[in-house]
A and B are shown apart, each in its own frame.
Chain A
């Protein structure tokens, strides 16, 4: 049987270790979080960069909206074929499987036509990131081919980042 002083000794050790183990757990957790944050900072890629690299395809390749001469098969980057500027072509060009991917809304200013990717949700909170500094991606001057006419237009991009 333990004496009075020994009981106090064991109890104080137990209390000490209970407090110490909680503090050690908190310190280890904080340490891990700092390291994870540091790693995320090191591997950060600007979403603007990612979005602009993807957006290149919309005006440059015939699988998206670029005009391709049916006789010569020559592709004209920067000229949008209006007959292709629709959701079906967008699905062939950039079909996202979830909202975790970057989604787009494209708008031809003069023609007033919009095309969106299949997981684009009109989410103003997302789209207004950096709105004070201007649009997320700069609008692009393009030519639009509609049957036999070619006209100037401006292509606007709205970007929905990974939700």
Chain B
């Protein structure tokens, strides 16, 4: 093997090692950022709050006790979705629930620190709304 080829192979080996290290660091960094975990935890909390409110036979107002100003939250009658503005992918921060017949859930909150769930329970209107509070 010529000296030039040997140096080229060594450069290739070094590059491969650097690429592997970078990939490992980027995966670890993505996991270590709180955002992914936080989004899942918030969607679980909110989804379970909706389940809880569906089981209460009267009007109610509940405040979510954490700051959610980094997130956009979308509530409909089947699911709650939590995302940040940079997110393209909704999948990992969705919590699905099942409401009784006649109930609707709706609301959209973007980057507000304090959010509430309001349950309106009348004969004609059974609604769980996501509001700023």
CB within 8 Å of B: which residues of A?
Answer: 2, 6, 9-10, 13, 17, 24, 28, 31-32, 35, 38-39, 42-43, 45, 49-50, 53-57, 60-64, 66, 73, 75, 77, 91-97, 101
Contacts and interface: CB of A to CB of B under 8 A. Distances in A.
Main secondary structure of the interface of A (DSSP, over half): helix
Interface in B18-55: 20, 23-24, 27-28, 31, 36-37, 40-41, 44, 48, 51-52, 54-55
Nearest to B78: A97
A50 B37 contact: no
Contact of A53 (B41, B48, B102, B123): B48
Nearest to A51: B51
Contacts of B4: none
A87 B55 CA distance: 19
Contact of B123 (A9, A13, A56, A73): A73
Of the four ranges (under 10, 10 to 19, 20 to 34, 35 or more), the interface on chain B belongs to 20 to 34
22 contacts: A13-B9, A28-B24, A31-B28, A35-B28, A38-B31, A39-B36, A43-B37, A45-B44, A53-B52, A54-B51, A54-B55, A56-B52, A62-B57, A63-B100, A63-B101, A66-B57, A73-B123, A75-B57, A77-B57, A92-B101, A95-B98, A96-B98
